[in-house]
Amino acid sequence: MRLVALDVDGTLTDARLHIGRDGEAMKSFSVRDGFGLTLLREAGIRVALVTARRSTIVEARAAELRIEDVLQAVPDKAQALQALCGRHGVALSECAFVGDDWPDLRAMAIAGLAATVADAPLEVRERAHWVSTLRAGRGAVREFAEFVLRAQGAFEPALARYAR
């Protein structure tokens, strides 16, 4: 796996939006999921966020995790994934897409590895190659990151960097 692209709402978050009376939105992110993305990046896997919404909160979280590819207000995630892979010279077969709902299905279908969260709709889980045992925003992305690292033989070296 050379590139992992993820939807945000319902994948990195618990799919809830908190809207204040002045219209400001708030989202909750799992620190463990964020560390999972850091582990992928440290293993040399490019990480990208691809979301249909636009949010300064997503920009801030991506900056904090040093994720450079942040595609927001994306109407067609499959097209965005193809462009992202092309820009970085990565074959679709070498990328994963982690989504949680119907708008993610086309991107999941063209990715070499389609993944989703435990609480995704049945139709999404049925079309995924890998389904987490954890819910969105509750460690599902960390679980996925560890799955990828183990599959690539990079889990133990990553752990060793922190467990010395």
Give the strand order in the sheet containing 113-116. 69-71, 46-50, 3-6, 95-99, 113-116, 130-131
Report residue 5: phi and psi, to 5°: -110, 140
Question: What mean pLDDT value characterizes the chain?
Answer: 95
pTM, entire model = 0.95
Alpha carbons within 13 A on the beta-carbon side of 150: 6
Write down the pLDDT at residue 26. Answer: 85
Higher pLDDT, 99 or 18: 99
Residue 79 lies in a domain: yes
Domain count, the chain: 1
What is the C-alpha to C-alpha distance for residues 49 and 4, in angstroms, rounded to an integer? 9
Tell me the residue range of the domain where 51 lies. Answer: 3-159
pLDDT at 19 > cutoff 90: no
Q: For 74-94, what is each residue's pLDDT tens digit?
A: 999 999 999 999 999 999 999
pLDDT at 164 > cutoff 80: no
- H-run or E-run covering 69: strand 69-71
Residue 141 lies in a domain: yes
Tell me what the mean pLDDT of segment 147-153 comes to: 97
Name the nearest CA neighbour of 149 among 56, 43, 78.
43
Residue 14 lies in a domain: yes
pLDDT at 23 > cutoff 90: no
What is the CATH classification number for the domain harbouring 127? Answer: 3.40.50.1000
Q: For 45-71, what is each residue's pLDDT tens digit?
A: 999 999 999 989 999 999 999 999 999
